[in-house]
Amino acid sequence: MYVVAGVSCYANSAITSLFSLPSFVDYLSSCPNNNMAVEPVTAELWRLLTSVGPSELTSLRRLIPGERWMAAEQQDAAEFCLSVITSLQNQADDG
C-alpha cells in the first residue's frame, strides 16, 4: 500500500464541514479569549477559522486523543469529526 506522509484530507474535510455550520462558528466565537489557554482544542480551531490562507492541521491532529490521527495513512473523516466534537465536550466538562 502506498502511503503519503502527512495524509490529512480526512481532517480537512471534517474541519471544513464543522466550519460550515453557523452554530459551530457561533460557539467558537462565543468562547472567551481567557479560556483559550485551558481549552487548547478550542484555541486551535479558532486559529484555523481565523487564519488567512492555507493552514496546517498538524497541531489540531496532535491535540485530538488517539495516536492514529498522526499516522500517515487514510482515516475516516466522520470519526475524526466525532473525536473533535468529543474533545470540545470534554474541555467544556472540565472547564
Q: Which amino acid is it at 5?
A: A
Which pTM was predicted? 0.76
Task: Look up cell 481532517; give the residue.
Answer: 11
The one-digit pLDDT tens for each residue of the chain (95 residues) are 233 345 678 888 899 899 999 999 998 888 877 566 668 898 889 888 888 666 778 888 888 988 888 887 888 999 999 999 999 999 888 86
Start-to-end CA span in the chain (Å) = 43
